[in-house]
Structure 1
């Protein structure tokens, strides 16, 4: 059986997510997700993961 490992968010990722959300807005979760990994070198998160984490 294949299981998906749940990824934990660190404090730095939470802070970066908040900053990116403030810059991009709630209609741009895919951009937020891409910038999170590209600009901050964090593990890749999906737009859905970012949206759910921010909510």
Structure 2
């Protein structure tokens, strides 16, 4: 990550953007567990980590 706040925010937004298909698919499925999975994907994107969910548990993007 870059040192500036603006740079870090831009990098996080790029990672979230890269996962929007997965997030939309999870939310489309509905249910509390699916919503929790969507927030997990967002949190992992913010921290720069990959989601620890099994690939078959996540929708394709």
TM-score range, shorter chain: 0.3 to 0.5
Greater length-normalized contact order (CA 8 Å, ≥ 6 residues apart): 2
TM-score (norm 2): 0.37
TM-score (norm 1): 0.39
Structure with bigger helix share is 2
